[in-house]
Amino acid sequence: MGRGRLVIAVIIALMAIIAYFSSTSENPLTGEKQRVAMTPEQEIALGYKSAPQMAAQMGGLSQNEKARALVRQVGDKLAAESIAAKSPYKFSFHVLADPRTVNAFALPGGPIFITEGLLRLLKSEAELAGVLGHEIGHVIARHSSERLAKQQLTQGLVGALVVGSGDYTTAQIGQVVGSMISMSYGRDDELESDALGIRIMAEARYDPRAMIRVMEVLAKASGGARASRNSSPRIPRPKTARRASGKKSPGASPTACPKG
- Write the pLDDT tens digit of every residue in 42-79: 889 888 988 998 898 888 999 999 999 999 999 999 99
User: Catalytic pick from 43, 116, 127, 135?
Assistant: 135
135 is catalytic: yes
- In this model, does residue 118 exceed pLDDT 90? yes
CB 34 within 8 A of CB 142: yes
Domain tally, the chain: 1
- 252 is a domain residue: no
State how far the alpha carbon of 158 is from the alpha carbons of 4, 154, 167, 259, in Å.
Answer: 18, 6, 11, 51
pLDDT, tens digit (0-9, with 9 covering 90-100), for 126-141:
999 999 999 999 999 8
- 161 is a domain residue: yes
pLDDT, mean over the chain: 75
- 76 is a domain residue: yes
- 170 is a domain residue: yes
Residue 73, pLDDT score: 98
Residue 13, pLDDT score: 58
Q: Which domain holds residue 12?
A: 2-221
- 172 is a domain residue: yes
Work out the number of other CB atoms within 10 angstroms of the CB of residue 169: 8
Cα-Cα-Cα-Cα dihedral sign, residues 130, 76, 43, 59: positive
Question: Who has greater pLDDT, 185 or 149?
Answer: 149
Picking from 38-52, 89-103, 184-198, which range would have the lowest pLDDT averaged per residue?
184-198
Instruction: Tell me the residue ranges of DSSP E strands in 68-224.
Output: 92-96, 104-106, 111-115
Question: Who has greater pLDDT, 40 or 180?
Answer: 40
State if pTM tops 0.75: no
- 232 is a domain residue: no
Q: How far apart are the first and last CA of the chain?
A: 69
Residues 6+ apart with CB under 8 A from 2: none
- 226 is a domain residue: no
Residues 100, 127: Cα–Cα separation, whole Å: 19
pLDDT exceeding 70 applies to what percent of the chain?
60
- 51 is a domain residue: yes
Picking from 110-119, 159-168, 195-204, which range would have the lowest pLDDT averaged per residue?
159-168
